[in-house]
Structure 1
Amino acid sequence: MDIVRAWWRMAALPAVVLADALLMLAAGWIVARTPPRGEPCEGASVRCAGADPTPAGWIAEMDFRVAVTFWSFGSVALIMLASALWGWRHRFRALAVVQLLALAVPVYVVALGVLSSYPSLR
């Protein structure tokens, strides 16, 4: 492998790590900015009608938030896995290793979202 090709391969790794960080920040931004399905007025527990949400309404809200978290970070995990597989197939092993190590973050977030069935409202 010539020196120019080696340079581009090594320069690509920080760019990939930065892209991974931006993907995770975007997914976190989506989760944090997801509006409640109901119409809360004071915080996230009091509705505009003045009543607390029913248990069924609260469970539906939590299920919606878990689904948003799962799909946001799940899509990031799929993108990272696809780029790791691409790197492995094209003999770019360093990219595959970096992606597989970075893949631990969205997989951890998805596992928390699935295992913690009712996270608190923000």
Structure 2
Amino acid sequence: MRSGYDAAQGLSADSGVTAVLAANDDVAMGVIRGFQDRGWRVPQDMSVFGWDNQEFTAYFNPSISTVDLDREAMGQQAMKALLTRIRQEAEPELHLDLDSRLVLRESTGPARP
């Protein structure tokens, strides 16, 4: 959160940036707060997008647009790969099907000119 807050606070007002894609939802929350403390409105002045679809994102103000991932499937694939290595078996070709979806909420809006 702190890194997102600091990044938002340090962004030059004349940078031309209109949107931020944060590394995760915690960072996105810090970015939003950092912009709000500067008097910038989200999403009217700046759109912010998170990653992970943590539960709090639906309840934050504004609610945070994010990417929802199938963590269970990702964990299963990782565990299979790990067991294959531990057993020293031939590693199968990995097919990462992240099955992600966009969750659009209040923190994103149309692009500014």
Give yes or no for TM over 0.5: no
Higher helix share: 1
Q: Which has the larger radius of gyration?
A: 1
Structure with more strand by fraction: 2
TM-score, scaled relative to structure 1: 0.27
